[in-house]
Chains A and B, each alone.
Chain A
Amino acid sequence: MAEILGAEVDEEGYLLKVSDWTADIAQAMSEEDGIELSPEHWEVINFLQEYYEEYEFAPAVRVLTKAIAKKLGNDKGNSRYLYSLFPYGPAKQGCRFAGLPKPTGCV
């Protein structure tokens, strides 16, 4: 099994255990993807984690965009903006950085 900073990840780079997550892991993952984590990235990652803690599931993209709109302003509450932060998709790449399981299905 592959690892990142000592934490086990699956074939696609998602943490096997949510509890293994650390900010350093998010940092390391983003560096691998060639992304520098900005405060805006962290807003998204934090929200994903908060939501997950409550629902044991990642928020729908629409729920995420609205939450970000509240936090960062309406001009940033849209999926285009989120995609500019996470080119591989706010749900998939965002969840990976946040240590959450990958959303599956027809998404």
Chain B
Amino acid sequence: MSLISIFLIFFFYVSALIFISGLSYKLIQYRRTPAPLKIPIAPSALDKKGVLLRYFREIFLFASLFKANKWTWLFGWSFHLALVLLFFRHLVYFWPGEVPLILYKTESLKYAAYPLIFGLLGLLARRVFVDRIRYISAPSDYLMLLVFIFIALTGMMMTFANYHPNILMVKNFASGLITFKWSELPGEIIFVFHILPVFCIIAIFPLSKLLHAPGVFFAPTFNQVDNARKKRHLSDWASKKEDNLEINLESKNLKDK
């Protein structure tokens, strides 16, 4: 096996390890950290069904972002939706052994690359040209977008331009990563340029702002039911303050009515 194949295989497992351990750590941390006070944000949900509905609107429609800014919504939403569609489109490569029929029908999802690049370029343009957003952007914020754009462009070149890699080798390599039956990379260098940054994104996921994906589910502003008056909400550390049940009563001249 070529050195570059060995390197990429190795790099994938390192990335996957960082991803799984880092994300697990973060999820456990978020779960374990108490939310001592009820802080739902309007429009608050008055019951659990309302919370689910709220998440539906936030996750699938980006409802808050829509209220905030239509351009950012358009770019952000098309980028994320395209990302999901393209994830399904790529399953066919990673699927080990017999591939379910449905995955062969994902062919047309490749066109999601256009909204993907449209969204990414829009987000980048906002970051560069809107003074407010330029002000809040760190180098990593640009870098992240550029890496995604690079991934998208190399993917599009392999799909829509005349840079098709050996599809069988792609499939063997990708599914081999899952089944530990490693095989050689396809010869086309562009394929390396496509997957190397993907592995990087996987690795930095739990170390970066990409944590917004799990984070949104842990935001007390979103996930709490607005029922503070009806049900007592008490965290462990706060309840310890109540070990002394007595209240020191000052002597006070109170009149009976």
Question: Do A's and B's CB atoms come within 8 Å in the complex?
Answer: no
